[in-house]
Amino acid sequence: MTLLREHPELKGFKRATELEYCRTGQMIRIAGVVTGRQRPGTASGVVFLTLEDETGNTNMVIWATVMERFRAVLLQGQLLKFKGVVEREGRVIHVVAGHVENAGHLLSDSVSATRTFKSRDFH
C-alpha cells in the first residue's frame, strides 16, 4: 500500500491508524489488501473482513444486503476500496461497509511499474 498511497484513485482514503481520530458515524473511504474473510454461521449472514494497509489492520463489517450487491468483488478481490461508516465498541473500531470497489488493477499497475527490480533470493 505504501507504493500505491499516492495514486490518484486513493486520494482522500484513510489509513488504518487514522480511524482512531474519526468519530462514530463518520463516513469514510478506506482501501487495503484483504487478509481475511469470516462468515460465522451464527452471524446472520454478516461477513467480517480484515483489511490491511501500510499502517495496520481495519475490521470491516459487511451486512448481508451489501454482501449480496457486491458478492463477486468481496469474495474474489485482493485490493478493495470501501466507503463506510466508522463504529466503535469500547476500544474496538470497525467500519460498516456501504459500497465496495475492486482496486486490483492498481496492484498489476504497481507490479508492472516495478518490474525493473529483481528480487534477491537468500538460500
> Phi-psi region for residue 69, left (φ > 0), alpha (ψ -120 to 50) or beta?
alpha
| pTM for the whole structure | 0.83
Whole-Å CA distances, 16 to 2, 50, 114: 12, 11, 25
Residue 118's pLDDT is: 45
Identify the structural domains of the chain with CATH numbers, from first to last: 8-111 (2.40.50.140)
| 69-93 confidence digits (pLDDT tens) | 999 999 999 999 999 999 998 889 9
Residue 63 pLDDT class (50, 70, 90 cuts): very high
Give 109's pLDDT tier (boundaries 50, 70, 90): low
102 touches 80 (CB < 8 A):
yes
Higher pLDDT, 98 or 116: 98
Phi, psi of 3 (to 5 degrees): -70, -30
Extended strands (E) in 39-78 = 47-53, 56-62
